[in-house]
Amino acid sequence: MSDSIFSNYINGEWVAGASSIANISPADKSDIIGQYAQADKAQTQAAIEAANKGQLEWQESGLEQRYSVLMAIGDELIARKDELGELLAREEGKTLAEGVGETYRSGQFFHYYAAEVLRQMGETADSVRPGVEIETRREPVGVVGIITPWNFPTATGAWKIAPALAFGNAIVFKPANQVPASAWALTEIISRQGLPAGTFNLVMGPGAEVGDVLIHSKKINALTFTGSLETGRKVAAATAVNLVKCQLEMGSKNALVVLDDADLENAVECAVGGAYGGTGQKCTASSRLIVTEGIHDRFVEAVIERMKKLVVGHPLKEGVHIGAVADGRQMEQNLSYLELAKKEGGKLVYGGEVLTEETDGYYMQPALFTETNNDMTINREEAFAPIACVIKVKDFEEALETLNDTNFGLTGGICTQSLKYATDFKRRAKTGCVMINLPTAGTDYHVPFGGRKDSSFGSREQGTYAKEFYTVVKTTYIRA
Ligand code: NAD
């Protein structure tokens, strides 16, 4: 490592970048978290070469070693959750509680996949030819490129790195350039686990430079990406040319349906938590609130009352519920969607103001619109903002139709006490995850996660389903 610059990690060594950038907290522009190296194209190529060299040794290192490495990474993340959670909150802007929770969850991903290392079973079959047996087993896919967004700086990396390592792959990891500190901290932990050189590589830098090399490389075997739809399309197009396996998790326009018979208090908690948690910067956020006529007015009034209790402020300050917006670009985007919603005829019934706090950062009061319809741009494009729009509908059927009338399909939720509607919703919602009487955001780490339509592409992430992406199946025929 050079003195004051946090370096890239390539082929088992800390390597200075071609240049560096300052990592500035969006909650306090005077808080410089550090200077972070920026890889160039040549360094990214070097990381890919190193991964190709290191992979076989890691694949053959034995299950016990892989298990121990993953357990140790998970243990350390959990033991250091307060310190690393604070770092995460400073660089991303989410609250300390959210930062600590994310770090803890990241540790759980490593523990889960440590256990998966020891659960690798194949299958056998008799051949149609007498005297011949068949076995199928899973082998590592090889070198995996990992590209992650800024909104879950540690967890997104963790839920990809843990299974990649568990199944014997080598990695080239490119985190979002807005949040290099959490990725660097995770890399530092991984660097102390005695992995074969080249098994794990960190290349920090812009998507157009570092990411571009990764997605166009013929020397990686699989590319897993989480980020925007626009970038996801580029990743899919570039990897398709080289027939590189590709997995995309992208944006969404999730909706929470609230029916007349919902428990109002719970529906309000689901809506407010789902729409504004993480400053609305979650791919699972409920940006559309689809509400039936009979409960509409009571629901809106109760949501506004609940929103009045939300404290916006510096992420590390006690009692704060909503932290800072991630950066100046995101703030501009939030404000332009706010204006657009007004122009399209939405009625701003609460919030939306830019707030001035003690520290110079990007703060915004969460906003609620009513009188919107599903054709408005604000209800069709992902704003990734603390903005929720109420869409009033007649009944369950119209609610479901509205929920499904979108290009996206990550999560969908319903608040109802009717078993009939809940069951019908579960079956007919065109989303990858369905939440009943729960917020659309908030998922577990041991089950599959992903969406439909423009939200996801390729096989599912997380849980046992992750093995589909991180392994290839080999079928062997044996005549004794
Ligand atoms: P983004 O697409 O701008 O960036 C994501 C990553 O791709 C970053 O590391 C970026 O540097 C890289 N990148 C950008 N251009 C690239 C290129 N041309 N080639 C290769 N890599 C490139 O997304 P973002 O703004 O960082 O994140 C927000 C988006 O992520 C939202 O749309 C959100 O919904 C989505 N997201 C999805 C999930 C999910 O699991 N579905 C989870 C979190 C975030």
Q: Residues 245-275: pLDDT tens digits?
A: 999 999 999 999 999 999 999 999 999 999 9
Whether 227 lines ligand 1, by a CB cut-off of 6 Å, is: yes
270: annotated active-site residue: no
pLDDT score, position 348: 98
Q: 321 and 273 in contact (C-beta within 8 Å)?
A: no
Whether the model clears a pTM of 0.95, i.e. scores above it, the answer is yes
pLDDT at 180 exceeding the cut of 80: yes
Closest ligand 1 atom to residue 230 Cα is: 2
Q: Percent of the chain, pLDDT > 70?
A: 99
3-state DSSP of 290-351? EEEHHHHHHHHHHHHHHHCCCCECCCCCCCCCECCCCCHHHHHHHHHHHHHHHHCCCEEEEC
Q: What are 319-324's contacts with CB under 8 Å, separation 24+?
A: 320/95, 321/95, 321/276, 322/95, 322/276, 322/279, 322/366, 322/386, 323/27, 323/89, 323/93, 323/94, 323/95, 323/98, 323/279, 324/25, 324/26, 324/27, 324/93, 324/279, 324/361, 324/362, 324/363
pLDDT at 2 exceeding the cut of 90: no
Whether 6 lines ligand 1, by a CB cut-off of 6 Å, is: no
**Cα 338 to chain centroid, rounded:** 24
Q: In a mutational test of the pocket of ligand 1, which residue from 223, 226, 452 has the highest number of ligand atoms less than 8 Å from its CB? A: 226
pLDDT score, position 326: 98
- When pLDDT is averaged across residues 366-392 and rounded to a whole number, the result is 98
98: annotated active-site residue: no
CATH superfamily of 254-436: Aldehyde Dehydrogenase; Chain A, domain 2 (3.40.309.10)
**Partner residues linked to 411 by β-bridges:** 433
**Alpha helical stretches, state H, 140-256:** 155-166, 180-191, 212-216, 229-241
Q: Residues 193-217: pLDDT tens digits?
A: 999 999 999 999 999 999 999 999 9
The residue from 283, 389, 415, 433 that is catalytic is 283
- Kindly report the CATH number that applies to the domain delimited by 5-251+451-479: 3.40.605.10
Tokens of 296: 């509409």
Distance (angstroms) between ligand 1 centre and the Cα of 123 equals 37
Distance (angstroms) between ligand 1 centre and the Cα of 358 equals 31
Q: In a mutational test of the pocket of ligand 1, which residue from 92, 109, 147, 333 has the highest number of ligand atoms less than 8 Å from its CB? A: 147
- When pLDDT is averaged across residues 277-287 and rounded to a whole number, the result is 98
Whether 39 lines ligand 1, by a CB cut-off of 6 Å, is: no
Task: Map out the domains of the chain as residue ranges.
Answer: 5-251+451-479, 254-436
Q: Residues 73-90: pLDDT tens digits?
A: 999 999 999 999 999 999
